[in-house]
Chains A and B, each alone.
Chain A
């Protein structure tokens, strides 16, 4: 928990204060002068106090500081996302934000040309086949033909992610990353699976700093020192390929570098035990061991998943230890492993948009993901880096 803080005095009468201005909390302004002993004292101080908020907003305009970026002028008509993507609002929603990151307005829905094969949620946002499928209970053994299609689709997904990686730099918005992903996917003849999946408004997930996963691409510019995860899934020839990587924006601090490298290693170690006969349960043990040894924590709310003709299906693969996951790996199964590792606590919270998961303490989180195929003797990483993949990680020689 946070360090103990000294007792505040009421900004109006000086008595011990137990209440604070919620707008100051939202804007992460100092508590001095913003603490009050009663709602009455707060009300009495309001007309003079509120100027603090105005000053804070004005001072951060155009400087690109972490507080508030000016996103109003270049993005006419862009709105904030609500209700999992089913609604929009012109005002930033109220929330007790856990860190300094805020949502920004999002752009309008991207077009998918007619010749692209669509999954059944593309039009109305509601998957129909997936929730009712037997594949939610039984782990599919893929046929040779299905495996070939998955190899091809996963390769395309890798190339799309690589295209996104190449544009990462300070000043680029996550919306621009989404545009690159969307266009690269369409050009390859695929559909960006996240688009309209349960109403998700964009074609990929971009998760910055304290966002654990499912961040929505928006008007916020990446800043020097940020870390950003880009999660891509492509639907092509009737199957999905899913992968994600966390990248550095400009120069990041030591703690962030260690976090991202450890997360990469967690995935690497997990993949190294994949082969027929290994229990799905074991993946969580391996990841947890490595993360804990590095003083980091493992997110427990989201898990790896089966993938193929369905975006998400059995098995569920938790990333934490002592889980009761059912089943053992068999040749021909395809699934993802996607550990999310946090600097601080493991708990997550949900933003008002209904998608963005953030760390409960506002500290940073990183993630890596691959789609894997269990082979007779081990594993094939279907979304592996290619010789053409850009060099993004200092610890990788290539």
Chain B
């Protein structure tokens, strides 16, 4: 045990004492979840990102486990010269029991630590019909100061086949995957627009956009041919960042058009409620928890986003929820020119507008 090698070991840098994990929010790596039917062009999209010369170092994780959320293989493009590097990412060594971070998160953090510079991570989800569990796992508490953060959920849909996919299970008890994937998406890539017949293409695409917005009016729809999109619109969305501005602007716009126009009650749709008077934050929390945790009014809420005008506060508060997980965070001061109000968007199934509006109004009363 005492034998020293003939050759010295490699000398290490002095003052390498800061643990690599001490990264703050500004340098955390965004993780984008990519969903959609195989035929819609998911793989094409992934290949496009891996192969195009955008100067970014992007890792693509192929999740081939279906039900089980795990990490096996990571493909990283070297950015500058476009060379693809395939590596195995081991599942984290961390203890599985009683840990706050899911093993997938730990594996992604290890990946970030391993690489000198990683600009973004794409999580390609084969076989995962419902992105909600993945979102729950990746939407970490800010307090954890993780080196990874959930950036957005992107769904790739097929312009040629989407309507068929949406109608295919009409009347049956379960939804086609397309509904869930669109409902949870922050960005919808409407692919294969070139395959829609040219004569009617204007009308058809408009119709499709309406259908998509009917399900999820907050999603940003991008047309594409062979999934060739402007990466700046896809990466760094910060869709789960409470302080990020872009989402607020969309919500604060005066128009009421966020609620779905066509009301097929059996389908997934968007509903927007807005009220001008300031609300009591404690009451709002209880109200939201009854809906998300207790499934009050038998509503099934998938996502929820909103801005709140809070009693006795000059701060605009943002509200964000994915299934049962939610947070309400003071974001910034209301601007002088802004019309202060509450505006909340629900995306889900069996949404009851009257029930939501009336119960929310109860949060406004000064006396209980």
Q: Which residues of A are interface residues toward B (Cβ below 8 A)?
A: 1-2, 5, 8, 17-23, 25, 31, 35-36, 39, 42-43, 46, 49-50, 53-54, 57, 72, 84, 90-91, 96, 131, 197-198, 214, 300-305, 311-312, 316, 318, 320-324, 326-328, 338, 347, 349-350, 354-355, 357, 360
A338 CA / B97 CA spacing, docked (Å): 13
Kindly state whether residue B171 has any CB partner on chain A within 8 Å.
Answer: no
Given A320-B143, A327-B293, also A355-B95 (CB < 8 A): yes
Contact flags B95-126 to A (C-beta < 8 A → 1, else 0): 11111110000000000000000000000000
Given A305-B98, A318-B141, also A21-B11 (CB < 8 A): yes
Given A318-B141, A349-B19, also A301-B14 (CB < 8 A): no
On chain B, the residues within 8 Å of A5 by CB distance are: 15
Given A22-B11, A25-B12, also A2-B17 (CB < 8 A): yes
Kindly state whether residue B4 has any CB partner on chain A within 8 Å.
Answer: yes
Determine how close the nearest CB of chain B comes to the CB of A248; give it in whole angstroms: 25
On chain A, the residues within 8 Å of B94 by CB distance are: 301, 350, 354
Q: List 10 A-B contacts (CB under 8 A).
A: A8-B14, A20-B14, A50-B4, A54-B4, A300-B144, A312-B98, A321-B143, A326-B324, A349-B19, A349-B21
Q: Could you tell me if B21 and A303 are in contact, using CB atoms closer than 8 angstroms? A: no
A-B contact sample (20 more), CB < 8 A, given A19-B13, A303-B99, A320-B141: A35-B14, A36-B11, A42-B8, A43-B8, A46-B7, A50-B8, A84-B93, A96-B16, A131-B96, A300-B100, A301-B101, A322-B142, A324-B327, A327-B293, A328-B293, A347-B19, A350-B94, A354-B93, A354-B94, A354-B95
Q: Could you tell me if A197 and B141 are in contact, using CB atoms closer than 8 angstroms? A: no
A305 CA / B142 CA spacing, docked (Å): 21
On chain B, the residues within 8 Å of A43 by CB distance are: 7-8
Q: What residue in chain A is nearest B285 (Cβ atoms)? A: A279
A8 CA / B14 CA spacing, docked (Å): 9
Q: Which residues of B are interface residues toward A (Cβ below 8 A)?
A: 1-2, 4, 7-19, 21-22, 93-101, 139, 141-144, 289, 293, 324-327
Q: Could you tell me if B143 and A322 are in contact, using CB atoms closer than 8 angstroms? A: yes
Which single member of A1, A46, A54, A322 contacts B17 (CB below 8 Å)?
A1
Determine how close the nearest CB of chain A comes to the CB of B89; give it in whole angstroms: 16
6 tightest A-B CB contacts, nearest first: A19-B11, A46-B8, A312-B97, A42-B11, A354-B93, A326-B324
Q: Could you tell me if B9 and A323 are in contact, using CB atoms closer than 8 angstroms? A: no
Q: Could you tell me if B18 and A1 are in contact, using CB atoms closer than 8 angstroms? A: yes
Pick from B1, B8, B11, B96 the residue with the most CB of A within 10 Å: B11
Determine how close the nearest CB of chain B comes to the CB of A350; give it in whole angstroms: 6
Q: Could you tell me if B326 and A324 are in contact, using CB atoms closer than 8 angstroms? A: yes
Q: Could you tell me if A57 and B2 are in contact, using CB atoms closer than 8 angstroms? A: yes
Q: Could you tell me if B141 and A360 are in contact, using CB atoms closer than 8 angstroms? A: no
Determine how close the nearest CB of chain B comes to the CB of A282; give it in whole angstroms: 12
Given A302-B100, A326-B324, also A91-B11 (CB < 8 A): no
Q: What residue in chain A is nearest B18 (Cβ atoms)? A: A1
Q: Could you tell me if A322 and B14 are in contact, using CB atoms closer than 8 angstroms? A: no
On chain A, the residues within 8 Å of B11 by CB distance are: 19-22, 36, 39, 42
Q: Could you tell me if B10 and A22 are in contact, using CB atoms closer than 8 angstroms? A: yes
A207 CA / B143 CA spacing, docked (Å): 25
Q: Could you tell me if A19 and B12 are in contact, using CB atoms closer than 8 angstroms? A: yes
Q: Could you tell me if A304 and B19 are in contact, using CB atoms closer than 8 angstroms? A: no
On chain A, the residues within 8 Å of B326 by CB distance are: 324
A306 CA / B14 CA spacing, docked (Å): 44
Determine how close the nearest CB of chain A comes to the CB of B317; give it in whole angstroms: 14
Which single member of A53, A54, A214, A322 contacts B141 (CB below 8 Å)?
A322
A192 CA / B16 CA spacing, docked (Å): 40
A156 CA / B13 CA spacing, docked (Å): 51
A214 CA / B99 CA spacing, docked (Å): 12
Q: What residue in chain A is nearest B16 (Cβ atoms)? A: A96
A328 CA / B144 CA spacing, docked (Å): 22
On chain B, the residues within 8 Å of A322 by CB distance are: 141-143
Determine how close the nearest CB of chain B comes to the CB of A162; give it in whole angstroms: 23
A49 CA / B4 CA spacing, docked (Å): 11
On chain A, the residues within 8 Å of B100 by CB distance are: 300-303, 316, 318
A328 CA / B10 CA spacing, docked (Å): 54
On chain A, the residues within 8 Å of B99 by CB distance are: 301-303
On chain A, the residues within 8 Å of B144 by CB distance are: 300-301
Determine how close the nearest CB of chain A comes to the CB of B318; give it in whole angstroms: 14
On chain A, the residues within 8 Å of B95 by CB distance are: 198, 214, 302, 354-355, 357
Q: Could you tell me if B293 and A23 are in contact, using CB atoms closer than 8 angstroms? A: no
Q: Could you tell me if B98 and A18 are in contact, using CB atoms closer than 8 angstroms? A: no
Which single member of B9, B15, B98 contacts A303 (CB below 8 Å)?
B98
On chain B, the residues within 8 Å of A305 by CB distance are: 97-98
Determine how close the nearest CB of chain B comes to the CB of A205; give it in whole angstroms: 10
Q: What residue in chain A is nearest B329 (Cβ atoms)? A: A322
Q: Could you tell me if A324 and B293 are in contact, using CB atoms closer than 8 angstroms? A: no
A2 CA / B15 CA spacing, docked (Å): 9
On chain B, the residues within 8 Å of A72 by CB distance are: 1
On chain A, the residues within 8 Å of B7 by CB distance are: 43, 46
A84 CA / B98 CA spacing, docked (Å): 15
A301 CA / B289 CA spacing, docked (Å): 26
A133 CA / B49 CA spacing, docked (Å): 38
A350 CA / B15 CA spacing, docked (Å): 20
A53 CA / B8 CA spacing, docked (Å): 12
Determine how close the nearest CB of chain B comes to the CB of A216; give it in whole angstroms: 12
Q: Could you tell me if B2 and A54 are in contact, using CB atoms closer than 8 angstroms? A: yes
On chain B, the residues within 8 Å of A21 by CB distance are: 8-9, 11-12
Q: Could you tell me if B13 and A18 are in contact, using CB atoms closer than 8 angstroms? A: yes
Q: Could you tell me if A22 and B143 are in contact, using CB atoms closer than 8 angstroms? A: no
A39 CA / B18 CA spacing, docked (Å): 22
A91 CA / B1 CA spacing, docked (Å): 7
Q: Could you tell me if B12 and A20 are in contact, using CB atoms closer than 8 angstroms? A: yes
On chain A, the residues within 8 Å of B143 by CB distance are: 300, 320-323
Q: Could you tell me if B19 and A360 are in contact, using CB atoms closer than 8 angstroms? A: yes
Q: Could you tell me if A19 and B17 are in contact, using CB atoms closer than 8 angstroms? A: no
Q: Could you tell me if B98 and A302 are in contact, using CB atoms closer than 8 angstroms? A: yes
Determine how close the nearest CB of chain A comes to the CB of B321; give it in whole angstroms: 10
Q: What residue in chain B is nearest A284 (Cβ atoms)? A: B143
